[in-house]
Structure 1
Amino acid sequence: MTALQNVLTAMEITGVKVQNKKARALELLEKVGLTEVEAKRNVLQLSGGQQQRVAIARALSCNVDLLIADEPTGNLDGETAKEIIELFQELAHQENKCVIVVTHSQEVAKKSDRAVYLSKKKLVVNEINNS
């Protein structure tokens, strides 16, 4: 299955009502940093970072307000991880999406607006000022 087919399948399953689903899927893949050529590649031929981007585009294709990502940068190189986190920040700040990221990475947590930690069986909430 190609990256494009992956996003189109999610749209079909969730009953997304869009005039031109293929154009919308390509737009979302481009938004997350994939070219049209990459969109037509089998997802198994894409890098880990590109596969993460396909997963994000797939979630966005369903027009969700809440995006939950479990260790989205865990298997990525530093530069790709940074790009994924910047994309999440853009989604949160510019498109008003709620993005929840589960991570063991202190660096990723520091990029958030709010971090919730489990410490000694209690939840600790830290407001982080990223201005």
Structure 2
Amino acid sequence: MSDLLLLTRIAGRPAAFRAGDIGSIVELTEITPVPRAPDFIAGLAALRSRALTVIDSRKALGLLGPSETTDMRAPVVEVAGHSYALLVDRVDDVVPAAGEPAPTPATLGACWAQVAHGMIETASGPAVLVDVAALVAGPGETAA
């Protein structure tokens, strides 16, 4: 695999997204909460006259505890014709993949296994290769 990857951190763990799945990186300045939305939906944000649903990646994995988000930059993805911004701890770099994805180890945990294409090696070390549609679907859900 010679694809480019966007390296991020989610819940302190290195996580990679295929660069082709990322439309842009935006800086979120204001997130408007949505009443009665599932917990993993942080709210809505505006991007050039369109609404983005903001997904809290940590909560979408079903992880408990406070968010460690210190970077207000968010990858923007499109799933089934809808745009989403993904809250991550931080956005690190764009790097080439150093090989093909390997199976996800059992020690990673069920929350990560449900959104992982596998583990991918990069020059920065191994990272979980994230399935964007599965992450956007939220905890315990299946991707459309």
Band the TM-score falls in, shorter-chain normalisation = under 0.3
Instruction: Name the larger-Rg structure.
Output: 1
Give the strand-richer structure, 1 or 2: 2
Bigger relative CO (Cα 8 Å, ≥ 6 apart): 2
Bigger proportion of residues as helix:
1
